[in-house]
Structure 1
């Protein structure tokens, strides 16, 4: 395991899992939100994002967490040797996004750009979750599997599987 892509719908525990994996392996964690957004939560230019992403995937070892653009997603799938797809039931994602908002009154969420609005991010996450069934489909996963022949793929579909994966990493 040298190049790990962690992806899935908002609020699924990608950041927490990725941080645990980074600590356990010593592989640098690269949350995509930190290259896609500047301080204050403003989106960087498409070119700046593409350049930063290209530098990341050219490295020998990485854990990249998030979706980013569809083009960068497929570049990561092709470059990674390990794929972790967090695909929990929608009600879990909605609850964890809401819980993250409530907790943000006390602590900044992990992997969020400094000074970005958690409320705006939460509203965007709820909107994205509402639209997600059109993107995160069985056809998409079939395409991921086709492109990932010979790679390790973890598809996490229950909270128990997620907790077991974290426990086995730690």
Structure 2
């Protein structure tokens, strides 16, 4: 596990999972929302984002959290050796978007640029939620089937799978540390 792409529908806990995975593995974390948007939710110029994304892909080790854009999504998934696909039931994604909106008034959402417009961004999340479920989710599922023999894939389908994922990763790291000692 050297190049990890964390992806899935909005409100699925990608940023929280990515942050914890980075802490466990020591891999550098790159949050696409913070690369694609400046403070206040202002989008950076497209070429600047594309260049930053390409620089990350060329590095030896990374965790990339988020969607970015269609152009960079498939490049990133192809370049990654490990895919973490958060494919929770739609109602969980919806509930977590609601939760993020409510708690966001007290604490900025994990992985969002500072001073992001909470209400506007949350309303956009509700729109994206259905569009992603309808159009991207089937493509994501098809993609992971196509590459299952060439990449490590963690297809997380429930909240229980999230805790099992971390147990598995921690056990793998502990095993490697014990084997190298």
TM range (shorter): over 0.9
Counterpart-to-counterpart distance in 1, 2:165 and 2:147: 23
Specify the alignment match of 1:22 in structure 2.
22
Specify the alignment match of 1:86 in structure 2.
86
Q: Unaligned 5+ residue runs, structure 2?
A: 171-181
Residue 61, structure 1, aligned to residue 67, structure 2 = no
How big is the shift at 1:133? 2.7
How big is the shift at 1:134? 2.6
Aligned residues: 170
| TM-score, with length taken from structure 1 | 0.93
| TM-score, with length taken from structure 2 | 0.88
Deviating runs (4+, > 4 A) in structure 1? none
Cα RMSD of the aligned pairs, angstroms, is 1.5
| 1:38-83 deviations in Å (ceiling 9; x for gaps) | 1110111211110010011111100000011111011111110000
After TM superposition, list the pairs within 5 Å mapping 1:3-42 onto structure 2.
Answer: 3-42=3-42
Mean CA deviation greater in 110-119 or 60-69: 110-119
Structure with larger Rg:
2
Q: Unaligned 5+ residue runs, structure 1?
A: none
More helix per residue: 2
